[in-house]
């Protein structure tokens, strides 16, 4: 294995980037680590018939409320949304790894609904509510992309915003 170090300046977007072009289509992928991407972007490498692609994406995290350690469940519920390093109340889709909030991640609210106290202004790429009954209060939310998605998944479900949706970019 090895490392692919990204020399980032500006203008990075989510997509596949061709990093190796092969006319024979026979490329062995040895680098296993991608470094240098700004938070929250993550990079993964894969091969195709023409060489090696670097896929850059934004992670999707699930609200885990007051749960700050992985327990195999996306619990949802009541808690405080902030960027403190000790506040690891965001988890993976299967609840096996918790993390702190990093600006511009995609957020999903599932599990048990509750009141989410937003501390400060949080920048998001997506707000998705998979269950109804969540209440967001205090602080503020601002879109991180030119068009940030705000979605309530199920017909008839609601999410209540007692926190301002601000910023100069669009909510869709």
Nearest of 168, 104, 164 to residue 136 by alpha carbon: 164
pLDDT tens for each residue of 92-112: 999 999 999 988 889 999 999
Give the predicted TM-score (pTM) of the model.
Answer: 0.79
Query: CA geometry: angle at 152 spanning 11 and 147, to 5°?
Result: 20
The answer to whether the CB of 163 falls within 8 A of the CB of 138 is yes
**Would you give the DSSP letter of residue 38?**
P
> What pLDDT, on a 0 to 100 scale, did the predictor assign at position 46?
84
Q: Which residues are bridge partners to 107 per DSSP?
A: 61, 127
Q: CA 124 to CA 22: how far, in whole Å? A: 37
Q: CA 126 to CA 140: how far, in whole Å? A: 14
Question: CB-hemisphere CA count at 13 Å for 154?
Answer: 10
Nearest of 1, 61, 63 to residue 31 by alpha carbon: 1
Residue with tokens 């299967």: 94
Q: CA 95 to CA 67: how far, in whole Å? A: 10
Nearest of 27, 76, 94 to residue 54 by alpha carbon: 27
Q: How far is CA 137 from CA 22, 126, 163, 164, 168, in A?
A: 52, 17, 5, 8, 21
pLDDT tens for each residue of 131-169: 999 999 999 999 987 778 899 999 999 999 999 998 888
Q: CA 86 to CA 121: how far, in whole Å? A: 18
> What pLDDT, on a 0 to 100 scale, did the predictor assign at position 9?
65
């Amino acid at each position: 294995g090895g490392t692919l170090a990204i020399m980032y300046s500006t203008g990075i977007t989510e997509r596949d980037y061709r990093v190796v072009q092969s006319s024979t289509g026979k490329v062995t992928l040895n680098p296993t680590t991608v470094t240098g991407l700004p938070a929250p972007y993550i990079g993964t490498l894969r091969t195709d018939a023409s060489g090696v692609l670097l896929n850059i994406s934004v992670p999707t995290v699930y609200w885990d409320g007051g749960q700050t350690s992985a327990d195999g469940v996306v619990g949802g519920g009541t808690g405080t949304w902030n960027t403190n390093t000790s506040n690891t109340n965001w988890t993976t889709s299967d609840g096996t790894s918790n993390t702190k909030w990093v600006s511009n991640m995609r957020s999903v609210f599932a599990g048990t609904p509750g009141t989410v106290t937003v501390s400060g202004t949080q920048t998001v790429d997506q707000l998705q509510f998979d269950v109804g009954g969540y209440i967001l209060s205090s602080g503020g939310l601002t879109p991180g992309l030119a068009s940030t998605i705000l979605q309530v998944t199920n017909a008839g479900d609601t999410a209540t915003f007692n926190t301002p949706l601000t910023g100069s970019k669009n909510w869709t």
